[in-house]
Amino acid sequence: MENRRAEAWHIRPNGPLVGEVQVSGSKNAVTKHMVAAMLGTRPSTITNTPDVGDVGITADILISLGVGVEIAGDEITVHPVESPGSDVPLEFTGLNRIPILLLGPLVARNHEAFVPLVGGDRIGQRPVDFHIAALESMGIEISVGSDGIRAKAGRLHGAQITLPYPSVGATESVLLTAVLAEGRTVLRNAALEPEVTELALFLQRMGARIGFKPDRRIIVEGVDHLRGAAARLQGDRLEAFSYLVAGLMTGGQVRVGGCAQDRLVTAIDTLQKMGATFEITDDYISANAAAGLRASAVQTDTHPGFMTDWQPPLIVLMTQADGMSVLHETVYEDRLGYVNELTEMGAEVELFDTCLGGPACRFHDTNALHSAVVRGVSKLRGAEVTIPDVRAGFSSVIAAAVADGPSTLHGIHHLERGYHRPFETLESLGMKLERIAATP
């Protein structure tokens, strides 16, 4: 990863992107499955896993705790141990979000734990306090220090938990802890994203007792132990959307396989309203916009709404749609920070702290710039920019693909942390790019 941090990409526009992409399993699911697997008494195997930086980071964290991890191609096998280490080393501070998800499971196994401060994309506040409050309600004593979080408990017990917001991470934290707690846990206002359901199904295969209710309730009956299990990850809906947009953005057509239609239904509907036409089968999804793109108003939301991770590629696409488009971000208040990089490339985007394009959200009385007005069609130009996070990174790439000159993108390790071999995939679609040494 250090070598990747020292690299940049040089991109030369080369016309429409055309071809086929077979997406791998979900980046947002694989690392959570790896954490779940360490709770079993027998090894677990996860297949169709993506080759992304977060997998290596998570594997290193588990190995530091004494857990065995084998990675062979797209298959990961996790060998749990009866007494894993209780402290995640400080060297993993700020690398990704996995340490906070380990807090409850490590206390369940060791009665104590320490995890360093979490990291991930800088897109707004991640509600760690939701995790802490939920874990405290299950009998865990928690203290937060300058370098991390320390926790201890005797026997964990079930609890009645209501999340202030349907946070994906907090829901996953409760699931990973409640499965081995004594008694029943009722989680209200839970996140129901496909990746959360996928984690719950994997835990169920391991012997967990988990039920979903229609009013955002998840009920978990704790068990004494979990066994090993095997699962094949479902396709990454974030990656699938990104490559569909890359084709539309460049006037081409990308055919995406490996991601089922039901994981993209809201994304497909959104792109159709912008003028895209689709061909959908059981094996692939492709889109084109031969008649051009039109402006739209879109609001991000929790599932089944328009996913927040889809909005950075969408905003870039809006720059090539005819008219004024509006994007209202309601999940992360700082997710539009990457717009500065796009405006350097000629995108006409203005940010507002009011709620545009939808009803008032929880950021309506803050100073957060969480709404964007995008003017299209914008003529984009090549530039030298630094990528701030995973999804914004892909947006810069596809903007560079239609610019009127070459671009150099720094911080490319963010992109490779979250996308399966993006350099090779984009090259196969016809993009002209090369790796170069980044300037100090």
Report, as residue numbers or ranges, the catalytic residues. Answer: 121
Element (H, E) at 314: helix 311-318
- Tell me the helices (H) and strands (E) count for the chain, helix number first: 14, 23
In eight-state DSSP terms, residue 215 is T
Single-letter amino acid, residue 351: L
Smallest CA-to-CA distance from 402 within 382, 386, 424, 416 is with 382
Single-letter amino acid, residue 432: K
Q: How far is CA 331 from the centre of its chain?
A: 13
User: Positive or negative, the Cα torsion across 305, 308, 311, 313?
Assistant: negative
CA distance 328 to 370: 6
Q: What is the DSSP string of 386-439?
A: E--SHHHHHHHHHHHHTSSS-EEEE-HHHHHHHSSSHHHHHHHTT-EEEEEEPP
How many Cβ atoms sit within 10 Å of the Cβ of residue 366?
11
In eight-state DSSP terms, residue 359 is S
In eight-state DSSP terms, residue 25 is B
How many Cβ atoms sit within 10 Å of the Cβ of residue 249?
25
Long-range contacts of 433-440 (CB under 8 A, 24+ apart): 433/9, 433/10, 433/11, 433/12, 434/9, 434/10, 435/7, 435/8, 435/9, 435/10, 436/7, 436/8, 436/9, 436/10, 436/408, 437/6, 437/7, 437/8, 438/5, 438/6, 438/7, 438/8, 438/410, 439/8
Smallest CA-to-CA distance from 260 within 17, 75, 19, 26 is with 26
Using an 8 Å Cβ cutoff, are 246 and 232 in contact? no
Going from the C-alpha of 258 to that of each of 20, 94, 105, 122, the distances in angstroms are 11, 31, 31, 29
CA distance 33 to 31: 5
